[in-house]
Amino acid sequence: QVQLVESGGGLVQAGGSLRLSCAASGRTFSGYSVGWFRLAPGKERRFVAAIDWSGGNTYYVNSVKGRFTISRDNAKSTVYLLMNSLKPEDTAVYYCACREGRIFTTINNYDYWGQGTQVTVSS
């Protein structure tokens, strides 16, 4: 079992920045790929970014490329999502999830989920 806890969400103006954290506990975290997903009002939960166990491979949805950066610190069992140049359409509950093995972008491939953190971007 892996427990995930997100933090770092909040209210920010358009153009601002936030850094989300995903802290893991339980089993050894270093062997897991981690993904960030978001659930916006009236929409389905969607993939945002992912990073493999080593941190050497990352993947982003097109809408956040160049604005968001995913990284990890295995010594701290934490994955980060740095979000710059935020837009109102980035408003959502952000979830981190993890799975053993390689990166996937689909929800069903992730085994463990956090409770989410709210990000609100005002115009």
* Cα 30 → chain centroid: 16
Instruction: Give yes or no for residue 106 having a pLDDT over 90.
Output: yes
What residues contact 98, with CB distance under 8 A and at least 6 apart?
2, 4, 24, 29, 32, 33, 34, 35, 110, 111, 112
> What digits encode the pLDDT tens for the residues 82-101?
999 999 999 999 999 999 99
d(CA 44, CA 69): 22
Residue 58 confidence (pLDDT): 97
User: Mean pLDDT, to the nearest integer, of 107-119?
Assistant: 96
User: Mean pLDDT, to the nearest integer, of 5-19?
Assistant: 98
Average pLDDT in the chain: 95
Task: Give the three-class secondary structure for 43.
Answer: coil
User: Mean pLDDT, to the nearest integer, of 64-92?
Assistant: 97
Reported confidence tier of residue 112, pLDDT bands at 50, 70, 90: very high
User: Mean pLDDT, to the nearest integer, of 14-36?
Assistant: 92
